[in-house]
Structure 1
Amino acid sequence: MTVRRTLTAVAAATVLALLPHTAQAAESYPAPRPITGQQIIHDPTVIRLKSGGYAAYSTGGVIGARLSKDGKHWDDAGNAFAEPPTWWYEYNDTGDPWAPDLSYRDGRYWLYYAVSSWGTNHSAIGVATSATGLPGTWTDHGKVFSSQTTDHWNAIDPAIVKADGKLWMSFGSYWTGIRMVELDPATGKAVPGATVHHLATRPDAPYAVEGPAIVKHGRHYYLFASYDACCSGVNSTYKIRVGRSASVTGPYVDSTGKPMLEGGGDLLLEGHGRFIGTGGQSVFRDRGEDWLAYHYYDAADDGTPKLGLNRLSWTADGRPSVR
C-alpha cells in the first residue's frame, strides 16, 4: 500500500468543493481527535503499552513506529526493525512490509504484518514478538500464512482475535475479499491444513474490500473492513463498513440483515470535510473504551495521510458509531 501524494493544496481544495457528499458527511461524522507531533501514518495499529503510553505501527519504512505518552502527542520512533528480514524479498524487491497488527498475549507483544507487491496475491503474512512492544526490540519468526497466484484470496492485512479459547487471524484484500484461519497459540502461525473461512466480499470484481479488524462486544463479533480504493490522496474513496455475527467465523450481517458475503455492511465512517478516504482501520481498547484508529488523507495538506482516532460508542442494540 504505497503512500502517494497526488495533489497540491490548491487542487485538494478544488476537489473538496466538487464532492457532492462533503457537506452532508461533515455534519454526520465527528472530526478525529486533535493530535500533535508526528501525524503522518498509513494503516495504523495502536495499543496501550503495559509500561504506560501508546505505540502505533504502520505501513512505511520497515514497519514505521510512533510513540505517545498520552495518545495526543505522537513522536516518530523509527521502525520496528533495523532492516528487513531476508525472506521478505521473496515477495517484493524492496523488502517493503504493509498493514501491521499489534496485540498482546501470553506476556508478549505480537506484531503481524504483510509482504507483497502491488496488484498480486503472491503474498505472505509474518509475525514478530517483543517483550516491550517498542521499536528495535522485535524478533521475527517468519511466515504465518501465504497465498499464491493460484489462490482465491490474498494473504495481506492481518488482524488477530481470540474467540472461544482459540486464536484466529482475519486477512484479505480484493480477490474474494476477507478470509480467516485458525492460529496455533504457541507459535502464532496458521494451524497446518487450517480451513480458510470466508467472511466478506463484494458482488462484482475487483471485490474492493480489505483490511479487516474483528472485535467482540457483548455477545457479538464485529467485522470492520475498508471498502473501495485507498492510496490516491484526496482521490481515495476508502470508507469503513461493519457487520456482526454470533460466531467469529461468521456469517457477518449488517443492520438490515444483508450478509457481508453479499456486499453488506453498515457504513461506519467515510470521507468528510478535509478528512478524505478514511480506512486502513484497527480497533484498540483503552481504559474501558474502544477506539477506532485509521488513516485519512488531509485535503488541507496536499492529501498527506494522517492518523485518525475516534472513540467508538455502542447503541442499545449493539451497533457501533464514531464519536
Structure 2
Amino acid sequence: MTFLYLLLVSFLLATQGFAYPQPLPLTGPAHFTHDPAIIYNPQSDYYYVFSTHGGVARSRELLGPWTAVGQYLPTGCSIVTSNAGHCDTWAPDVHYLSGMYYLYYAISGFGSQNSTIGVATSPTMEYGSWTDHGTVFSSVDGDTFNAIDPNLIVDNGTLLLTFGSYWADIYQFPLSPSGLAPLTNPPNLTWLSFNSTPPQSEEGAFVYQPHGSGYYYLFYSSGTCCGFVAGDLPAPGNEYKVFVGRSESATGPFVDQNGTPLLQTGGTEVLASHDNIYAPGGTSLFWDPKSKKDVIAYHWRPFNNIQGDANSMLGLNYVDFSSVSGAIPWSGI
C-alpha cells in the first residue's frame, strides 16, 4: 500500500517553499473555536460548527460569516465526573443518523483517566432542541485507555465509536443500533494507533471515508495541544500537529505512507505549524455537498497572538484524496 501521490505533492510543496496551505479566509465574529466538529444541515441550509466548551456557530456559506447560536447543552449535562466536578464538554462529534442528529462529547480533566463520553440527540440541531442521554462509555484510573475525543463512523450499517488520548492512545468499539450504548458490555475494543515517542499523545481521532473512496483514513493530532504561553512554548515540533494513516477497513489496521502501522508509531504528517499558524489540530472532516469536496476542520492559534487557549481559531481546508492515494489539505476555493 503506497502513498506515492502524497509524497510527490509534499515534495513539490516543500521545494516551492511552502509545506502547508493557509486556512481558507473566514469571516464573522464566531470563528474562535476549539476541537471543531463541522456538519452541513440541508434542511436549514446552514453549516454548523460545534466546539469544546459547548459552543455552536453557524453560517449559510462555508467561508462565513460565522455567528454564534448558543450552547448545544444550554442547561448543563447529566454527566459530572468526580475529577472535573462540572459540565465542561470537550471535543464534540456530530452526525446525522436515521432522521436524528447525534452529538458525542467528553467530560474529563487534564491528566485524568476519570473520563466519560456522553451523547445528545436532536431532530434539527437548533438551540434548545438537544436531548442529553448521558453516559455512553467511561474510563477510570488504571485503564489502558482514556474515554475522551469520541468519533462516530457508520460502516456498512455498523456504528463504530473511536476514542482515546495518552495512555495507549486510540481505540474503537461497536455501538448498539441506538447509538446510545456499546453493543456489548464490556465493549469489544480494537486498538487502532499508538505513539511511543514523546510527547506521546495521540488524540482527536477521526475515521473518515472520502466520498467515493474504498479507503478509510484515520486522522489524529499529536503533541502538546493546550495551555500555550507566549515565551514559554513547547520545543519546536512538540506542539500539536495532524497525522493520518489509511486502511481498507474502518477497523484497521491503519498504516502510513511508508507502510508503517499506526500501532508501531506510524503516521504521515499532513498539517503542522507554519507561517503564523501555530499548533493546528483537533480535526473533523465532512463531504461538502455545495462545493462537492472533502473538507477538514481544525483549530489553530496565531503565532503572533497566542493568548493561551482563548485565541483558538477555526481552520478549514479542502482535502485532496487522490487516485493512488493521499490526504493533502489545500486552500483552493
Q: Using structure 2 for the length normalisation, give the TM-score.
A: 0.86
**Structure 1 184/208 Cα, relative in aligned 2: closer, same or farther at 3 Å?**
same
Write the deviation string for residues 203-246 of structure 1: whole angstroms up to 9, x where unpaired. Answer: 24663110100111321110000011101336361000000111
The alpha carbon displacement at 1:24 in A equals 8.5
Write the deviation string for residues 228-272 of structure 1: whole angstroms up to 9, x where unpaired. Answer: 110133636100000011111111000100010011111110011
Match of 1:202 among 188, 195, 198: 195
Helix, strand or coil: the match of 1:261? helix
Q: What are the equivalent positions in structure 2 for 1:167-182 lying under 5 Å apart?
A: 167-182=159-174
Counterparts of 1:75 and 1:276 in 2: how far apart (Å)? 24
Counterparts of 2:15 and 2:303 in 1: how far apart (Å)? 17
Match of 1:119 among 111, 118, 121: 111
2:7 equivalent in structure 1: none
**Structure 1 187/219 Cα, relative in aligned 2: closer, same or farther at 3 Å?**
closer
Q: What are the equivalent positions in structure 2 for 1:1-323 lying under 5 Å apart?
A: 27-37=18-28, 38-50=30-42, 51-60=44-53, 63-72=54-63, 73-192=65-184, 193-204=186-197, 207-217=200-210, 218-233=213-228, 235=233, 237-287=239-289, 288-303=292-307, 304-323=311-330
**Structure 1 154/26 Cα, relative in aligned 2: closer, same or farther at 3 Å?**
farther
**Structure 1 26/208 Cα, relative in aligned 2: closer, same or farther at 3 Å?**
farther
**Structure 1 205/120 Cα, relative in aligned 2: closer, same or farther at 3 Å?**
farther
**Structure 1 139/90 Cα, relative in aligned 2: closer, same or farther at 3 Å?**
farther
Paired residues in the alignment total: 299
Counterparts of 2:225 and 2:199 in 1: how far apart (Å)? 14
Identical amino acids, percent of aligned pairs = 37
Deviates more, 1:190-199 or 1:294-303: 294-303
* Equivalent AA in structure 2 for residue 248 of structure 1: A
* RMSD value, Cα: 1.8
**Structure 1 317/295 Cα, relative in aligned 2: closer, same or farther at 3 Å?**
same
CA contact (8 A) 1:271 1:278 kept: yes
Unaligned runs of 5+ in 2: 1-13
CA contact (8 A) 1:91 1:124 kept: no
The alpha carbon displacement at 1:313 in A equals 0.8
Write the deviation string for residues 142-192 of structure 1: whole angstroms up to 9, x where unpaired. Answer: 111111112100000000001132110100011101000100122432112
Counterparts of 1:204 and 1:143 in 2: how far apart (Å)? 32
- After superposing on structure 2, the runs of 4+ consecutive aligned residues of structure 1 that deviate more than 4 Å are 23-26
Q: Using structure 1 for the length normalisation, give the TM-score.
A: 0.88
* Equivalent AA in structure 1 for residue 214 of structure 2: R
The alpha carbon displacement at 1:284 in A equals 1.2
* Equivalent AA in structure 2 for residue 152 of structure 1: T
The alpha carbon displacement at 1:78 in A equals 1.6
The structure where strand makes up a greater share of residues is: 1
Unaligned runs of 5+ in 1: 1-22
